[in-house]
Structure 1
Amino acid sequence: MILPRARVARRLELRDLRCPPHRPLTALRRRTGGTGPAAALPDDASAPDERAASPAPRRRRTAGIAAGVAVAVLAGGSVAVGAAHKTVTLDVDGEISEISTFAGSVDGVLTDEGVDLGQRDTVAPAGTAALTDGAEIVVRHARQVTVTVDGAEADVWTTALSADEALGALSTRGGDVRLVASRSAAGRAEIDLDLDGPVEVAVDGDVHAVTDTSGGVAAVLEGLGITLGELDTVSVRHSETGAVTVVVTRVLVQEVPEVQPIPFESVQQDDAERFVGTTAVVTEGAEGQRTLVHRVTTVDGVETARELVSDTVTAEPVTRVVAVGTKARPVAPKPAPKPAAKRSGGSAPAATSASAGGLNWAALAACESGGRVDAVSSTGKYHGLYQFSVATWNAVGGSGLPSQASAAEQTQRAQMLFDRAGAGQWPHCGPRLFR
């Protein structure tokens, strides 16, 4: 049978086809250490078939056609897999790695890499975005930080990686924005953000420049030898020049005692043994004491709060007691004036009234002269038990100096003087006559 020329040519083409074996799909190593999707890569072609081109049985021609089709299918699959493979850059909170992947979307890469996302975390591009070769994926996990805005404290979420970045983002909230450090069980100050560069440290009135901040806030303070008190606070803010500044605030709370006097009271009580118009201090008054304890809070040496803790009377005051006389004074008839008789020889002075004799003359003498018969004042003007002036002594019939007369005569003439003019002759000591 003679075949058409076109058919003969087709047979010769099929006879020369080669069907080399293909190698298994190889795994691509990923950053996490696992294996990625397999990629079909062709092995080297096998050696050409040396058999002569001769007519073959029909069944062999059929097998050759099938092999050719298989080669075509495998070649098409390699092209499809190669097109799905991509190399992308993944930045997770500043940790950057290059990823080989066959994922078709951003979410696929994150799932393969085991990156978990929270409600407040951010991803760029969006997770549903189609993935292209050379893409850059940025993931920022949100973290909660404590801030004070113009003195008011609040908890906020931020995806910033550094304190400087967070302060810049929060600057619109108020004039004085600070990140507040927490205190660990060991008393170290910690902020869940990097300082990321040189900072200033303001503490105890001084400002220190620190360039190595790799260890965070706690390491910076320890490097300067700064010890934190139990209540001291640490915050991070921007200075007026824009520099990141770590601020140590000294907070002291202590109980401060204060002693205050308690004034004493003064009372009067009637005394029937004393004459009307006379008083005497029976009990001297004395101030008491009270101790107040305040809990005082100071911030960098300035008092910011004061709270009364206790108020205790530590010494009771002593009341001053004054006795007031209620006894009626005796009324003596005023004697008729008599001519003063001069004493001659040993004649005795005139008799005095009985009322004058009942007074406390010893008390008057003790007050006026200390009870000394021959007492003379420092000026030399007053003499004797009752400190007569010479003129007064002569007016009641005395002669010579009173200090030279006997005690009896001095007392007798003092009583005469009382009968004439009363106790007013002794303005300071006169009330003692009535005790």
Structure 2
Amino acid sequence: MSTSQAGAAPGGHRTAPPPSFHEQPTLTAPLAPPAPTPPAVPPRGPRAAARRGARRRRPARPPADGLRRLLPQALVVAFLAGGTSAFVADDKDIRLSVDGVPRTLHTFSDDVRELLAEEGLAVGAHDLLAPAPGEPLAAGDEVVLRHGRPVSLTVDGHHRRVWTTADTVDGALRQLGVRAEGALLSVSRSAAVSRTGLTLDVRTERAVTFLADGRERTVRTNAATVTEALDEAGITLGPEDTTSVPGGSFPRDGQTVTVLRVTASTRTREEPVPYAVERVRDPGLSAGTEVVDRQGVPGLRRITYRVRTVNGVAGRPRRTGEEIVRAPVSRRVRTGTRPLPSSVSGADGLNWAALAACESGGRPTAVDPSGTYGGLYQFDPATWRSLGGTGTAQDAPAAEQTHRAKKLYVLRGTAPWPHCGRRLLP
């Protein structure tokens, strides 16, 4: 391409070529300054005029003053942004279950203890809390609190006071380990256990065996007494019947109770009542002499006994009473008090000691083998009484026996003593 073509402008017009780097441009007259841009036409109206006046009156501020004005605002915005982030970070959603009733709540508490204090919940010695009070909390955690409830529990007659966190009777029985299958409860299993507590009586099902009338019967029962269990077994007790254990006792599981069939009968027996002896002192009779004025008559007594028979075996009779059928009659005896004479004429000089030694060996109480003769001189009862003696000779003093022997000698000589009489002679 030619130089002339390169300098042509579009449309066929030519332009001057660009100056060379070493060439100096030709100086011409100076260019006139550009005309100023005409100002925009301001809006019309009083409010626009007021804003323009305010802008004209506002003094110009240096750039540093504007920076100082914006810095506090930036700090406030930054603080609020950071506080909002911390506020959102500390807020946690926690699932709190109190006595089985759950709810979800938002909290700023750091641990379980703060959460409970915030909710106004106290934990007692018998309450159940999980996690522990000092455990920290994180979002999504679950806190469970179950309050303890006192239970006055009686199981098969044994009473105790216990605590449970269950809110129903059935739950409390499971928690306390009470065997409730077939048991009789004083309160329904579905009944609620309130915070103030509950009184619960449990009678478990037991197997009790009865031995009665030669038969063995086993029943399963919730009875509170042996007597109730007997009724359930269909065993009837008679008026005198009893059991091997008290009827009011609690029947234990596996216990064997024997029924005792008891019959009672009354027996009587008559016994003699001995009579008394009345003795009257009589100075008209010699000492040692007795006279029976009235013979004694024994009385009659009837004694009643009760005989108890248990299962056909009679026991020892027990005395229950007595009555006097016939009163005894006392024996009345007069006893002499007059002193015996010191001698008997015609018999004082004889050897009475030798006679006594021959007849009885000198023993005042001696009795022969037949039991007929007695005393120092072996009197028979008839001879003794004929001489004024009472009772038997062997019961009288030795002096009286000798005195009456002397009287016998005066009457009959030595004949009463055919073998030893000769010893009387000096």
Larger gyration radius, structure 1 or structure 2:
2
Q: TM-score, normalised by structure 2?
A: 0.35
User: What TM-score, normalized to structure 1?
Assistant: 0.34
